Amino acid sequence: MSGEPLLGSSRNEGTTEVTNTNSAFSAVGSFIKLLPTGTVFVFQFLNPVLTNSGECEGVNKWLGGILLVVCAFSCAFSSFTDSYIGSDNKRHYGIVTFKGVWPSPASDTVDLSAYRLGLGDFVHAALSLLVFAVLGLLDTNTVNCFYPGFQSTQLLLLQALPTAIGVFAGSVFVIFPNHRHGIGYPLSASYSTATPTPPQQFPIRNA
């Protein structure tokens, strides 16, 4: 008889952790599209494994920390990539530069200057880092691993942060609309059937 309350308590705690983990993703669900799809999938898959589901030893903290850094870098880096349809009718991906996209094979019929680096790219990179920070740092496994005493505040932040980020992100995208389709981001139907000509948004001119 004495084992039943303990078993029930353990099940309740496990259910609560799963619910909080799901809440971390559902709370920022509308902003997931701001992140590279592959990066989000890798984090969701590897984070429970590397952090031992939140029951961290020393090596788990190192591995979990490395995963956070790598995924954060991937989110920022993807903001500086774009794609175009070349003269060979194939889609090519590259890194945006002050002159356009690099590398740029089969670009004879493409105006690469329309893809050059702009201030909006840095803004979008910062915004993607912000969204990933909410997603990654408030994940239950991350909280249990690095700052277990923070659990009582986790739910409050999950309730407040998405609204605040939504207002901020909406304002940012009004000023800096994103027309890039870089590595890790899905293509729209119109974009996948024609070569786009993205508007130049606050271009940065190198000296």
pLDDT in tens, 185-199: 876 554 544 444 444
Alpha helices by DSSP H, 51-148: 58-78, 119-137, 140-146
What is the per-residue pLDDT for 29? 58
**Are 161 and 27 spatial neighbours (Cβ–Cβ below 8 Å)?**
yes
**Are 17 and 138 spatial neighbours (Cβ–Cβ below 8 Å)?**
no
What is the per-residue pLDDT for 25? 55
Which residues are within 8 A (CB) of 50 and not within 5 positions of it... i.e. 6 or more apart?
Answer: 60, 63, 64, 67
- Cα–Cα nearest to 148, from 64, 54, 12: 54
Looking up tokens 């609309």, which residue turns up?
177
Which stretch of DSSP H or E encloses residue 161? helix 151-175
pTM of the model: 0.74
- Residue 44, token pair as written in the block: 């969701």
CA distance 135 to 149: 18
What is the per-residue pLDDT for 42? 93
What is the per-residue pLDDT for 35? 84
Q: Which residues of the chain have a pLDDT value below 50? A: 1-16, 18, 21, 190, 192-200, 207
Which residues are within 8 A (CB) of 171 and not within 5 positions of it... i.e. 6 or more apart?
Answer: none
In angstroms, the first-to-last Cα distance of the chain is 77
- Residue 162, token pair as written in the block: 């998405």
What is the per-residue pLDDT for 154? 67
CA distance 30 to 51: 26
The half-sphere exposure of 164 on its side-chain side, counting CA atoms within 13 A, is: 9
Which residues are within 8 A (CB) of 201 and not within 5 positions of it... i.e. 6 or more apart?
Answer: 118, 119, 120, 176, 177, 179
What's the DSSP call for residue 87? T
